[in-house]
Structure 1
Amino acid sequence: MIEHILTNINNRLNNKDLAALLLRITLGGLLLFHGWHKVHSGISFILNTLAEHGVPAFVGYGVYLGEVVAPILIILGILCRPSALAIIGTMIVAWWLVDVDNTLALSETGAWAIEDLVFYVMLSVILLFLGSGKYSVIANPNWR
């Protein structure tokens, strides 16, 4: 009896395409808030931090790719895997520039100090393996 119920539940909830859509909305939607902040407030902090590390300022404009363009594409289900790679790269640069010293630290509330970066990286890694699923604004699966 219980096995029948569990099998029924598992069969009804087994929807990889819906899971991919929910993942895309979560990753893209939450990261887009960070991107919108940079569109609205600018990236002078990033440009200055890059300069302090001896990196050319133009590299800082990549944050718009990783935090605005890539999340929008992911939400829409277009070029999800390349967009996930762009997000991973953006988060690695953010970690290196700002949070590398916090890698082994805890926040004031006891959370891992870089958990937000790890969250975005890991959701992007999952999306790399899962793909966009069939729920996309583009029909051609090669562009998903």
Structure 2
Amino acid sequence: MNSPLLDDIGKLIFRVGFGVLFLMHGINKVMHGIDGIESMVVNAGLPAEIAYGVYVGEVLAPLLIIVGWHARIGAILTAITMAFAFTLAHSHEIFELTAHGGWQLELQGMFLLASIAIALSGPGRISLNGR
């Protein structure tokens, strides 16, 4: 196999895996609502309507990433979503470790870094955009 094909297969696996894992959080919000997020947004002094952006960041954006259609835009949206999550929901945990020595926010950190990686590397040729 040639290297460009392996790169594209790697991007496909990374993109789909990340997108599905991120989308699961969005499905939970669709099924159970966003009241908790709305209260965090309001407590931060922001308009409550901003909370509805979670549907864009956790449902639409992962779908864009999974299928590889404007995946870079989807990845930027998931990175913005994670920045909001860090700020609104997890700011008190940034410097905490788990009982096993891992970073308290390693899942959130992995989502943020993976979003940035997809935004920088693109979806690969095995995608709807094909680039």
- Asked if 1:80 is matched to 2:71, the reply is yes
Moved over 3 A (4+): none
Residue type at the aligned position of 1:137: L
Match of 1:122 in 2: 113
Separation of aligned partners in 2, 1:55 and 1:119: 26
Q: Could you list the per-position Cα deviations for residues 63-114 of structure 1 after superposition, in whole angstroms to 9, with x for gaps in the alignment?
A: 1111100001110000111111100000000110111111010123432111
Match of 1:44 in 2: 35
Per the alignment, residue 99 of structure 1 pairs with 90
Q: Does 1:64 align with 2:55?
A: yes
Number of corresponding residues? 129
Question: Distance in 2 between the 1:39 and 1:127 partners?
Answer: 25
Cα distance in structure 2, aligned partners of 1:28 and 1:62? 17
Q: TM-score, with normalisation over the residues of structure 2?
A: 0.92
Alignment RMSD, CA only?
1.4
Q: Among the aligned pairs, what percent are the same residue?
A: 33
Counterpart amino acid of residue 60 in structure 1: A
Amino acid at match of 1:33: M
Q: Is the 8 A contact 2:70 2:129 kept in 1?
A: no
What is the alpha-carbon distance in structure 1 between the residues aligned to residue 46 and residue 81 of structure 2?
14
Report the Cα distance in structure 1 between the residues aligned to 2:46 and 2:21, rounded to whole angstroms.
28
Q: Indicate the larger mover: 76-85 or 12-21.
A: 12-21
Distance in 2 between residues matched to 1:120 and 1:32, nearest whole Å:
11
User: Is residue 2:10 matched to residue 1:19?
Assistant: yes
Superposed displacement of residue 16, structure 1: 1.1
Q: Any stretches of 5+ residues in structure 1 without a counterpart?
A: 1-11
Q: CA deviation at 1:13?
A: 7.2
Aligned amino acid, residue 50 of structure 1: V
Which runs of 5 or more residues in structure 2 are unaligned? none
TM-score scaled by length of structure 1: 0.84
